[in-house]
A = this chain, B = another copy of it.
Amino acid sequence: MKTKLSANGPLLSKIATGVWKWGEWGSNFSTTEIEKLIQASLEAGISTFDHADIYGNYGCEALFGEVLKANPSLRNEMEIVTKCGIKLISENRPSHKIKSYDTSKEHILFSVENSLKNLATDHIDLLLIHRPSPLMHPDEMAEAFTELKDSGKVLHFGVSNFTPSQFDMLNSRVELVTNQIEISALHRDPFLDGTLDKCLEKSIKPMAWSPLGSGRIFTDKEAEDVVRVRKVLTELSEKYDASFDQLLFAWLFKHPSQIIPILGTGKTERIQSAADALKINMDQEDWFRIWEAAEGNEVP
């Protein structure tokens, strides 16, 4: 169930497992628990793992790397995505005095070396610039990318949270294979502001973070859009014999750009459930029922 991210892009699974809550920022999993999650993900056909240098206060990559060190053969069964470019204030980075962005060649190379060491791997499948910096220098970034590609340390490059004009700017110097952005039925901006148009125009597949709307669909009992969407999901749940999660994933899969949602879960059963959502082919009218419920109005 793999898919090519773009003409020259990597093969990723159609869903990715995100690790950002596995460490300090969330569940604080042991390596045993992490190994179990990795195995469950691979068994469900979800072979792409989404990291960032900063996840878990600069800790998640190393936790994940512990498992790879103990099980070196696992590396060949997966694709690793990681990110760089944000500098957090953290006791693990005492030199940082302020939250800032750094997309200098020096920092990109430094960050990749750390990721490789922490992840106990000799290559990253896909490196993303985590946030667009107002100080991005496309030629310098292209230089860093070329050096990393030539050395085999990073195979492909992409961005995250980029506007269409930021994408065009950097893409004018170096081939980008994805834009990882927030997309969900509760966050529809990318459908309207040109971000998904750009992905379609360039034939690159977007990755979606918070594909379930940061869980707001389950926890927010008062927001009118959530109440309306829950009502529709309740009806569709029966029709498709599917959970809310699965319907919301199926809603994303319906988009022609072939969105790759990133799972935020730490539960093995929800990983399998997400993979099963790939089998749902949502009717066009049902897609628009969810859209209309989220908007609060029918389409113009």
Contact = CB atoms under 8 A, between A and B. Distances in A.
Contacts of A104: 284
A168 interface: yes
A192 B285 CA distance: 34
Given A100-B288, A163-B194, A197-B168, A256 B137 contact: yes
Contact of A191 (B134, B254, B288, B291): B134
Give the number of copies in the complex.
Answer: 3
Nearest to A300: B131
A298 B98 contact: yes
Contact of A284 (B100, B139, B285): B100
Nearest to A140: B256
Contact of A164 (B161, B165, B192): B165
Interface residues of A, number: 46
A289 B101 CA distance: 11
Interface in A162-185: 163-166, 168-169, 172
Contacts of A284: 100, 102, 104, 135
Given A200-B169, A201-B169, A135 B101 contact: no
A287 interface: yes
18 contacts: A98-B288, A99-B288, A99-B292, A99-B299, A100-B287, A100-B288, A101-B299, A102-B284, A131-B299, A134-B255, A135-B254, A135-B284, A161-B300, A164-B165, A165-B197, A168-B197, A169-B198, A169-B200
